[in-house]
Amino acid sequence: MAEEVNYASVVFKSNHQAPPEAIKEEETVYDEVKMKRRTSQQTADTADDKQNNNNNNNNKQRRRYQRLACCFGVLCVVLLGGLVGVFVVLASLSGEKNKTTLLAEIHNLKNLTDKLSADNDNLRMEHNTLTVELSNLTTKYNVLDSKNANLTTRNQDLENQSNTLRQQIQYMETNWTELNISRAQWSIDTYCIHNAEGKCEACRKGWLHNQKTCYVTINPNPPGGKTWTEARENCREKNADFPVVLTEEEKNIIDKYSYGDVGDWIGLRVEDGKWKWIDGTELNQISWIGPPVDGHCAVSTQSGVWRSVSCDLRKQWICVQDALSV
């Protein structure tokens, strides 16, 4: 530390005034001493002050830095708080927006879920319906398959029957040819041989000829009578049948050939509550016989009155056949 130097200034007064120059010199000396002292003091103070100033400056700078750091920290806190607030606001806004979006999406998903549930129910119902239809179709298919198998078997049987019928037809054609030859010979023998002149007759021997028809009455003794069905079968064996009468003229001929009032079977009987001829035609002349009775057949008589009797009675009968063209 610099040594302190003290200067003293001494002022001498005199009763007598010094000359102005002397006074001036004295003041000059005093001023110098005073200035030097002040300078020394200032030098010493300056050194101390300088060090103190350095310390103060350091302290000030430190405090300034501390203030700056504190301010910066406060500013950071404020900025952080602001950012946090902004983030909170943004998050809140974003959250509200997301919430609205999520609610809309949830609503859409709910609608979609309901639609899918309804579609699923419809599909389940369709599946059940299709299952029932499939079951029905399966049953029908099994039935059809069984019918097809039966038809296949039936078809095979029909083919076998067809082959059998074809053989039978071939056999019948052969027999028919032989039968025609035999019939021709029979016709010659029946219609021609018996004639003394060697001519062929229109009707066989014992048959009555009237226009284009030959008639024969078969009148066995009462025990030899036949039912309506048996008598017709007998006519067929003769290559003939019961007479079918359509006109009054034909009726008169039949009545004339009948066996008295006992009568003969003819081709008229009751079917379905109506009088019908053996060719299926209905009797138009309802006055020829009484009302139809089920199980009854007609009997012609010489008196011209036809009677309705049970077909099971045993009667005589009349057969007719076409006359031979000669």
Containing domain of residue 263, as a range? 208-322
Mean pLDDT for the stretch of residues 110-132: 88
Q: Can you tell me the distance from the alpha carbon of 24 to that of 20, in angstroms, rounded to the nearest whole number?
A: 6
Q: How many domains does the chain have?
A: 2
Nearest to 304 by CA among 243, 261, 275: 261
CATH of the domain at 279: 3.10.100.10
**151 and 217: one domain?**
no
Note whether 313 and 227 are within 8 A (CB): yes
The tens digit of pLDDT for each residue in 73-118 reads 777 777 777 777 776 766 666 666 677 887 888 888 888 888 888 8
Q: What is the mean pLDDT of residues 293-301?
A: 95
- Per-residue pLDDT of 248-275, as tens digits, reads 999 999 998 888 888 899 999 999 999 9
Average pLDDT, the chain: 77
- Find where tokens 């300088």 sit: 50
pLDDT for the residue numbered 109: 83
CB 311 within 8 A of CB 297: yes
In a domain, 184, yes or no: no
Task: Provide the β-strand partners of residue 213.
Answer: 210, 322
129 and 217 share one domain? no
Residues 222 and 130 in one domain: no
Strand extents, DSSP E, the chain: 208-210, 213-218, 264-271, 274-277, 296-300, 307-310, 316-322
Same domain, 91 and 214: no
Same domain, 131 and 216: no
Distance between CA atoms of 267 and 311, rounded to whole angstroms? 11
Last residue of a domain, one of 159, 189, 218: 159
Percentage of the residues of the chain whose pLDDT score is greater than 70: 67
Instruction: State the Cα–Cα distance between residues 235 and 300, nearest whole angstrom.
Output: 16
Task: Using alpha carbons only, give the angle 306, 310, 311 rounded to the nearest 5 degrees.
Answer: 95
72: tokens are: 């910066």
Q: What's the confidence (pLDDT) of residue 6?
A: 44
Whether the predicted pLDDT of 207 surpasses 70:
yes
Q: Which of 308, 298, 205, 188 is nearest to 254 (CA)?
A: 298
What mean pLDDT do residues 11-28 have?
A: 47
Q: What is the pLDDT of residues 136-192, one digit of tens each?
A: 999 999 999 989 898 888 888 888 888 888 887 877 777 666 555 445 445 555 556
Tokens of 32: 């110098």
- Shared-domain flag, residues 144 and 217: no
What was the pLDDT predicted at 83?
Answer: 73
Instruction: Judge contact between 272 and 304, C-beta under 8 A.
Output: no
How confident is the model at residue 227, as a pLDDT? Answer: 95
| The pLDDT of residue 236 is above 70 | yes
Residue 175: helix, strand or coil by DSSP?
helix
Last residue of a domain, which of 159, 193, 218? 159
Query: Do 111 and 48 share a structural domain?
Result: yes
Among 32-36, 123-127, 215-219, 306-310, which is the least confidently predicted range? 32-36
Tell me: do 21 and 147 sit in the same domain: yes
CA dihedral 242, 243, 244, 246 (to 10 degrees): -170
- Cβ atoms of 269 and 307 within 8 Å: the answer is no
Tokens encoding 143: 């039935």
The domain boundary residue, chosen from 101, 125, 159 = 159
Element (H, E) at 283: none
Q: Could you tell me if 231 and 315 are in contact, meaning their C-beta atoms sit under 8 angstroms apart?
A: yes
Task: Tell me how many degrees the CA angle 28-34-39 measures, rounded to the nearest 5.
Answer: 125
Look up the pTM and report it: 0.44
pLDDT exceeds cutoff 80 at 36 = no
* For residue 319, pLDDT beyond 90: yes
Distance CA 104, CA 167 (A): 89
